[in-house]
């Protein structure tokens, strides 16, 4: 090819590029950082910036606008504050904070912006969605009628949860709040529910234990873990629950079902208060700004069961809150109780007494409750909560003196077996048929001959015993959630045989003992 031909080809290409170029005047607002400290930057020179808009800093950091003042705007940083200095250039983006969504997030550990924390490749999401999205309107919602099984007998039998519900888990520090939420996630291993766990300000060791538990006992390939550690930027800790909700809504809006555990909103409220005080917003009760209720309300209102016309998907929320010395009347707990559809209250005295999960049945409630329970469990557990509450009252009075009435003694003995049945090991969820069987056993008097200290052995051996002696009933209950009279008798027969075996092993002396050792001879 001659030089002239090459020149003509280059000229044609150059003309095409020039014609395609968008040549014209453009205007851009450029602000300057006036001051930056404690995760917040005050910026001047951006009169056209909007609330919640994403802004970019000269050295590569990003943040979002949290408040607008006459001469400056307050920007909460989403990256390390050390990368933002006074005098740095700042530009608005015209966009809000967005996160990747879609199946690519499943099985991953990410920060609130969707950046990997597990050493894996970057997330290639189906879309980039805003972290703040409006809650579904009333017209798009449906009744909450489908169950979310936690695998915890005390919850499923007394405070049943439904798909689309918001149930608060509340209690003092370190008494098993996270364990309840993680057990609920683990129990979705064999369901169609996708789980999202979001840690807000939790210690790295706590988050590591949760990740390990989900990987070992649950279905990590259908779980998203979002982490904003205490060392993360202030903005990341604030947007974490909103970003996780957006990730979960992706599945809800496509007709699937999702569960989100937010651990915890007490620390999120503290982060919101810190931002408000730094940005000079007026403090209110307990120094929280006046909008803290609205912040959590608009977050939790995003949990919903959608109608069939809108896909029929659901998002169930289990927010966690921490109490101080069991004080349910504190500001943040009362706010969250007002927003949610019930609360599971954990009691430190029960925890210290060895009752785990340490659920206080007197102060816990589910405002959806039996409407979502499987018919077999609803029928079996109809009197369980009342019987247990009466036992607790009677037990309290027996501390003042002996009990002589035979009926009262029988009720106390039955109540102690109910309490033993409601105890449960962590990461060991029960099947629906196991829960139905245990309630039938304790309510039907099957456990009366069994010493209380042998009830844990009964719980452990029950699933295998039912599979051996009542396999057909097990399959029927798991498939339909119902139990007929014949199936009930089959379960009772299998449990009676198990109790007899355990009672016999208790009463028989071991081969190594002398002949009279069992009876003290």
Task: Give the model's confidence band at 393: pLDDT under 50 very low, under 70 low, under 90 confident, else very high.
Answer: confident
For every residue of 345-384, DSSP letters joined together read EE-HHHHHTT-SS-B-TTT-EESSGGGGS-HHHHHHTTTH
pLDDT at 514: 45
pLDDT reading at 516 higher than 70: no
Instruction: Domain 27-96: state its class.
Output: mainly beta
Per domain, the residue ranges of the chain are: 27-96, 100-373, 379-505
C-alpha closest to that of 218 among 258, 194, 187:
187
pLDDT at 42: 95
pLDDT at 513: 44
Q: How far apart, in whole angstroms, are the C-alpha atoms of residue 70 and residue 110?
A: 37
- Give the neighbor-by-neighbor strand order of the sheet with 168-171: 109-110, 223-228, 193-200, 257-263, 314-322, 168-171, 342-346, 365-366
Computed over every residue of the chain, the mean pLDDT equals: 90
pTM: 0.89
Q: At what angle do helices 455-469 and 432-443 cross, to 10 degrees?
A: 120
CA dihedral 230, 233, 235, 238 (to 10 degrees): -10
156 is in an annotated binding site: no
pLDDT tens digit string along 448-504?
A: 999 999 999 999 999 999 999 999 999 999 999 999 999 999 999 999 999 999 988
Q: How far apart, in whole angstroms, are the C-alpha atoms of residue 425 and residue 439?
A: 17
pLDDT tens digit string along 128-156?
A: 999 999 999 999 999 999 999 999 999 99
Residue the block writes with tokens 């740095």: 88
pLDDT at 403: 66
- Pick the catalytic residue from 367, 385, 411, 416: 367
Which DSSP symbol is given to 520? T
Q: How far apart, in whole angstroms, are the C-alpha atoms of residue 383 and residue 372?
A: 17
CATH 3.40.50.300, domain 100-373, yes or no: yes
pLDDT reading at 79 higher than 50: yes
171 is in an annotated binding site: yes
Q: At what angle do helices 471-480 and 455-469 cross, to 10 degrees?
A: 100
pLDDT tens digit string along 415-462?
A: 999 999 999 999 999 999 999 999 999 998 999 999 999 999 999 999
Q: At what angle do helices 292-300 and 234-252 cross, to 10 degrees?
A: 30
Task: Give the model's confidence band at 29: pLDDT under 50 very low, under 70 low, under 90 confident, else very high.
Answer: confident
CATH pick for 379-505 out of 3.90.1200.10, 3.30.70.360, 1.20.150.20, 3.90.1150.10: 1.20.150.20
pLDDT at 512: 42
- Output the six-digit token pair for 455: 């009830």
174 is in an annotated binding site: yes
pLDDT reading at 35 higher than 70: yes
The verdict on whether 163 is a catalytic residue reads no
186 is in an annotated binding site: no
521 is in an annotated binding site: no
pLDDT reading at 190 higher than 70: yes
48 is in an annotated binding site: no
pLDDT at 411: 86
pLDDT above 70 covers what percent of the chain? 95
């Amino acid at each position: 090819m001659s030089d002239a031909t090459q020149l003509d080809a280059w000229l044609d290409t150059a003309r095409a590029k020039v014609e395609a170029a968008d040549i014209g005047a453009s205007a851009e607002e450029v602000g300057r950082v006036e001051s930056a400290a404690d995760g917040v930057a005050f910026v001047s020179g951006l009169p056209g910036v909007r609330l919640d808009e994403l802004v970019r800093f000269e050295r590569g950091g990003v943040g979002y606008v949290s408040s607008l003042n006459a001469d400056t705007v307050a920007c909460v940083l989403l990256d390390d504050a050390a990368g933002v200095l006074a005098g740095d250039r700042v530009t608005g983006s015209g966009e809000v904070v967005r996160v990747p969504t879609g199946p690519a997030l499943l099985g991953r550990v990410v920060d609130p912006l969707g950046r990997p924390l597990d050493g894996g490749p970057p997330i290639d999401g189906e879309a980039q969605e805003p972290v703040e999205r409006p809650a579904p309107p009333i017209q798009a919602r449906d009744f909450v009628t489908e169950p979310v099984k936690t695998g915890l007998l005390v919850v499923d039998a007394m405070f049943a949860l439904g798909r689309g519900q918001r149930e608060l888990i509340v209690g003092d520090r370190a008494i098993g709040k996270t364990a309840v939420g993680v057990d609920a996630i683990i129990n979705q291993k064999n369901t169609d529910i996708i789980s999202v766990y979001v840690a807000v300000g939790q210690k790295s060791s706590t988050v590591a234990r949760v990740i390990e538990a989900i990987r070992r006992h649950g279905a990590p390939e259908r779980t998203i873990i979002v982490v904003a550690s205490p060392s993360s930027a202030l903005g990341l800790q604030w947007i974490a629950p909103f970003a996780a909700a957006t990730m979960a809504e992706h599945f809800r809006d496509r007709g699937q079902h999702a569960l989100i555990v937010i651990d915890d909103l007490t620390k999120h409220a503290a982060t919101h208060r810190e931002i408000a005080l730094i940005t000079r917003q007026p403090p209110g009760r307990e120094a929280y700004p006046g909008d803290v209720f609205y912040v959590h309300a608009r977050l939790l209102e995003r949990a919903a069961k959608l109608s069939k016309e809108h896909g029929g998907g659901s998002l169930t929320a289990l927010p966690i809150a921490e109490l101080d010395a069991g004080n349910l009347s504190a500001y943040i707990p009362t706010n969250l109780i007002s927003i949610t559809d019930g609360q599971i209250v954990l009691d430190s005295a029960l925890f210290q007494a060895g009752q785990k999960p340490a659920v206080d049945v007197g102060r816990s409630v589910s405002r959806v409750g039996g409407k979502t329970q499987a018919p077999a469990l609803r029928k079996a557990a109809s009197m369980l909560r009342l019987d247990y509450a009466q036992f607790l009252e009677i037990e309290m009075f027996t501390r003042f003196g002996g009990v002589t009435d035979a009926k009262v003694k029988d009720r106390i003995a039955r109540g102690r077996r109910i309490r033993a049945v409601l105890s449960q090991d962590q990461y060991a969820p029960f099947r629906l048929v196991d829960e139905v069987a245990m309630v039938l056993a304790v309510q039907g008097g099957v456990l009366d001959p069994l010493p209380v200290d042998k009830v844990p052995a009964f719980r452990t051996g029950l699933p295998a015993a039912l599979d051996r002696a009542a396999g057909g009933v097990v399959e029927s209950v798991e498939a339909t959630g119902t139990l007929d009279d014949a199936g009930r008798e089959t379960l009772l027969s299998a449990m009676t045989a198990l109790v007899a075996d355990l009672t016999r092993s208790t009463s028989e002396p071991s081969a190594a003992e002398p002949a009279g050792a069992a009876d003290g001879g």
